Structure 1
Amino acid sequence: MASLVIAREVLIEAPAEVVWRTITEPGQMSQWFADRVELVIEPGAHGYMGFGDQGGPVVVETVDPPTRFSFRWNHPRGEEPTAGNSMLVEFTLTPEGEERTR
């Protein structure tokens, strides 16, 4: 999995602080990415993200408010996630002026 990369750049009409809350607060995350989110936003924290009847464990990697958040997901149950057995999901937020974020 380590060699596969999906990258997407989006310009959002909202300040970085608002986008940060959207990608890190479980209540907001469940409105945008997953039906069920159980997660504490701190490095090393273990949690869960579910999509309908699919989902799995999540381990937070990086928390650098309000610019960078990453977690590992989709690793085999009972194993700690590593670069070789999981997906790294990473958000990098770049403010563009006061009201937009890339």
Structure 2
Amino acid sequence: MEFASIERQIHVEAAPEVVFEVISRPEHIRDWWYAECDVQPTPGATGELAWADGDNPRAHVTPMTVVASDPPRLFSFRWTHPAGEAAVDGNSLLVTFELVASGSGTLLRLTETGFRERGWEIAVLEQQYHEHVTGWGIYVPRIGEHAERLVSAR
């Protein structure tokens, strides 16, 4: 196995504008990723994602930097870099969401890269890669569910 990238693709019964809002706005990220997010969808914007565990609302915190934001077609960010360091190739993972209008909805493509470039020992690389594969397998469908609920509520 190469551990180079993770790719997911789903069709969402919502317009690209709605799906873009769901993947990029903090108030929606909270609903599908279960993480508090303070990053606005503007290239260069920085902040963090924070996941709760029990009574600790910031049990796991990771920095995030928006790389590209081209509504409603593309949203990408770097994350998992060390706190206090700028997110660059080699110290972070790059997540890219591509949105393509498809019929009455949107084709959502997610790609996450940068695993091998982190320079992790093989055991750490395998663990991180598998954790992210599992995570995106859970969270990408939730993006679609959340977007479809938004459409139904409007």
Asked whether the 8 Å contact 1:59–1:71 carries over to 2, the reply is yes
> 1-side partners of 2:73 and 2:22: how far apart?
12
Amino acid at match of 1:8: R
Q: Aligned partner of 1:67: which letter?
A: R
Counterparts of residues 10-29 of structure 1 (less than 5 Å): 10-29=10-29
TM-superposed CA distance for 1:21, in Å, is 0.8
- What amino acid sits opposite 2:41 in the alignment? I
Q: What is the TM-score when the length of structure 2 is the normalising length?
A: 0.61
Q: Decide which structure has greater helix share.
A: 2
Structure 1 gaps of 5+ residues are none
Contact 1:62–1:70 (CA under 8 A) maintained in structure 2: yes
Q: Is the 8 A contact 1:45 1:60 kept in 2?
A: yes
Scaled by the length of structure 1, the TM-score of the pair is 0.90
Q: Distance in 2 between matches of 1:78 and 1:18?
A: 33
Q: 1:101 aligns with which of 102, 106, 120?
A: 106
* Cα deviation, residue 54, structure 1: 1.2
By how many angstroms is 1:34 displaced?
3.4
Shift of 1:47: 1.1
Q: For the Cα contact (< 8 Å) 1:72–1:87, is it kept in 2?
A: yes
Q: Is 1:80 aligned with 2:80? A: no
Q: Provide, for residues 42-61 of structure 1, a one-character-per-residue CA deviation record: whole Å limited to 9, x for no partner.
A: 11111111122112111100
Greater radius of gyration (CA): 2
Contact kept in structure 2, 1:49 and 1:56, CA below 8 Å: yes
| 1:32 equivalent in alignment to 2:32 | yes
Partners of 1:77 and 1:4 lie apart in 2 by 23
Identity %: 37
Matched letter for residue 63 of structure 2: P
The answer on whether the counterparts of 1:94 and 1:101 sit within 8 Å (CA) in structure 2 is yes
Q: Which residue of 2 aligns with 1:4?
A: 4
What code does the residue aligned with 2:102 have?
Answer: E
Alignment: residue pair count: 99
Cα RMSD, aligned residues only? 1.2
